Structure 1
Amino acid sequence: MCIEIRREITPLKESDCFLIIDRKQNAFNYPVHFHPEFEINFIINGTGSKRIVGDHISEVGEMELVMVGPNLYHGWENGNMNLDSKYRQITIQFSRDLFTNSYLCKKDVKPIKELLNNSCRGISFSTETINKVHHKIIKLTKLEGFEAFLLFQSFLYDIANSANQSFLTNLSFNHENDFYNSERIEKAYKYIVSNFHKKLRLEETAESISMSAITFSRLIKQRTGKSFVDFVNEIRLGYATRHLIESNKTVSEIGYICGFNNLSNFNRIFKKRQGCTPTEFRKDFESVKATA
Structure 2
Amino acid sequence: MKDYFGQTILVKNSIFTLATSEVYHALNNFHNHQELELIYICSGQGIFSVGQSSKRISSDSILLIGPNTPHMFKFETNRYYDYTMKHGRTPLPLKLLTLHIDLNILGKDFLNLPENNMLKTLISASKIGLQLQGNTKKRAIGMLQRLENSANYEHLPFLLLLLNEIAASEDIPEHYERNASRPFKNIDETRLSRIYLYTMDNFYKDIKLSEIASIVYMVPNAFCHYFKSRTGRSYFDFLIEVRIEHACKLLREENESVSTISANSGFNNLSNFNRYFKQQTGKSPTAYRQQYRS
Residue aligned with 1:129, SS: helix
Change (3 A) 1:55 1:250: farther
Task: Please state how far the C-alpha of 1:174 moved relative to its aligned partner.
Answer: 5.8
CA, structure 1 residues 91+248, in 2 after alignment: closer, same or farther (shift >3 Å)?
A: same
Quick check: 2:77–2:93 contact (8 Å CA) kept in 1? no
Is the Cα–Cα contact under 8 Å of residues 130 and 171 in structure 2 kept in the other structure? no
TM-score computed with the length of structure 2 as normaliser: 0.52
- From 36, 47, 52, give the equivalent of 1:38: 36
**In structure 1, what is the Cα distance between the partners aligned to 2:139 and 2:56?**
22
2:63 to 56, 66, 89: 66
Conserved 8 A contact 1:51-1:58: yes
Measured on the aligned residues, the alpha-carbon RMSD in Å equals 4.2
Q: Aligned partners of 1:130, 1:92: CA distance in 2, in Å?
A: 14
TM-superposed CA distance for 1:136, in Å, is 0.5
Structure 1 residues 162 and 38: CA distance shift in structure 2, 3 A: same
Distance 1:79 1:22, change over 3 A: closer
1:22 partner amino acid: T
TM-score normalized by the length of structure 1: 0.52
Query: Secondary structure at 2:122's aligned position in 1?
Result: helix
Residues 45-124 of structure 1 mapped to structure 2, 5 A cutoff: 45-46=43-44, 48-54=45-51, 56-79=53-76, 84=91, 86-124=93-131
CA contact (8 A) 1:54 1:174 kept: no
Structure 2: runs of 5+ lacking an equivalent: 1-8, 80-89, 185-190, 197-214, 245-294
Structure 1 vs Structure 2: percent identity of aligned residues?
14
Judged with a 3 Å threshold, the aligned counterparts in structure 2 of structure 1 residues 266 and 54 are, in CA distance, closer, same or farther, namely closer
By how many angstroms is 1:143 displaced? Answer: 1.8
Match of 1:72, SS state, is coil
Partner of 2:15: 17
Is 1:173 matched with 2:172?
A: no
Mapped partners of 1:111, 1:123: distance in 2: 15
Distance in structure 2 (CA, Å) of the matches to 1:35 and 1:50: 19
Ranked by relative contact order (alpha carbons within 8 Å, sequence separation 6 or more), the top structure is 1
Contact kept, 8 Å, 1:19 with 1:93, in 2: the verdict is: yes
Find the counterpart in structure 2 of residue 159 from structure 1.
166
For 1:153, what is the secondary structure of its paired residue? Answer: helix
Q: How many residues align?
A: 195
The 3-state SS of whatever aligns with 2:99 is strand
Q: Give the stretch that moved more between structures: 83-92 or 116-125.
A: 83-92
In 2, distance between residues paired with 1:170 and 1:79? 29
Aligned counterpart, 2:218: 249
What secondary structure sits across from 1:108 in the alignment?
A: helix
Cα 1:267–1:156, aligned 2, differ >3 Å: closer, same or farther?
A: closer
Amino acid at match of 2:217: N
3-state SS, counterpart of residue 98 of structure 1: helix
Shift of 1:35: 2.4
Tell me: CA distance 1:86–1:105, structure 2 relative to 1, closer, same or farther (3 Å). Answer: same
Contact persistence 1:19–1:92 (CA under 8 A)? yes
Asked whether the equivalents of residues 39 and 69 of structure 1 are also in contact (C-alpha less than 8 Å), the reply is yes
CA, structure 1 residues 127+241, in 2 after alignment: closer, same or farther (shift >3 Å)? farther
Take 2:70 and 2:136, find their aligned partners in 1: how far apart are those partners? Answer: 24
Deviation of the 1:55 alpha carbon: 5.5
**Unaligned 5+ runs, structure 1:** 1-10, 177-239, 278-292
User: Secondary structure at the residue paired with 2:109?
Assistant: helix
Q: Which amino acid aligns with 1:66?
A: L
Kindly indicate whether the alpha-carbon contact (under 8 Å) linking 1:51 and 1:57 is maintained by their aligned counterparts in 2: yes
Q: Which range is displaced more, 97-106 or 128-137? A: 97-106
Aligned to 1:134: 141
**Structure 1 residues 28, 18: closer, same or farther in 2, change over 3 A?**
closer
Deviations 1:109-165, CA, capped at 9 Å, x for gaps: 211111122223322222442123211111111123121221111000011122134
